[in-house]
Structure 1
Amino acid sequence: MNKNVGGIDRILRIVVGLVLIGLTLTGIIGLWGWIGVVPLATAAIGWCPAYLPFGIKTCKMN
């Protein structure tokens, strides 16, 4: 599992994940907001399985 999620992409994933979870906890959106866990998890591990079929990498090359 090579990392394929870069810095700005990670920050955006964290923000989106936290916003979705926050909206769910405040009752603004329904249970679907818990999908925010997915971007948080992919940001934490630095790997997104959805990028694989398209060959996308937003991280710096070594």
Structure 2
Amino acid sequence: MPANVGNMDRILRAILGLVLFIAPLLNMPAIWSSAGLTYGSMAVGLVLVATAFFRFCPLYRIVGLSTCKIN
């Protein structure tokens, strides 16, 4: 698994992932009153944090995209 997620991409993914994971727990805004939206948001947030941590995005590989400067 070669790295294909750059530094700025990692930071944005980590922040957005944490927001999507934590916001439903705080119920802010009330859009997460649905259980499906809550679990969906948390799953997407977890995937974003994981891709930021591992510096690898499977979707980027399929599309042939890379934001990492060191390949």
TM-score normalised by L of structure 2: 0.79
1:9 is displaced (CA, Å) by 0.3
Do structure 1's residue 49 and structure 2's residue 49 form an aligned pair? no
1:56 is displaced (CA, Å) by 0.5
Q: Which runs of 5+ in 2 are unaligned?
A: 33-37
1:22 is displaced (CA, Å) by 1.6
Q: Which runs of 5+ in 1 are unaligned?
A: none
1:21 is displaced (CA, Å) by 1.1
Alignment length (residue pairs)? 62
Q: Which amino acid is 1:23 matched to?
A: A
The CA deviation string for residues 15-52 of structure 1, in whole angstroms up to 9 with x for no partner, is 10011112111123222221200000000000000001
Q: Which of the residues 28, 32, 45 maps onto 1:36? A: 45
Q: Kindly name which structure, 1 or 2, has the bigger radius of gyration based on alpha carbons.
A: 2
Alpha-carbon RMSD: 1.2
Q: Which whole-Å CA distance do the structure 2 matches of 1:27 and 1:14 have between them?
A: 20
TM-score normalised by L of structure 1: 0.89
Q: Which has the higher helix share?
A: 2
Q: Which amino acid is 2:2 matched to?
A: N
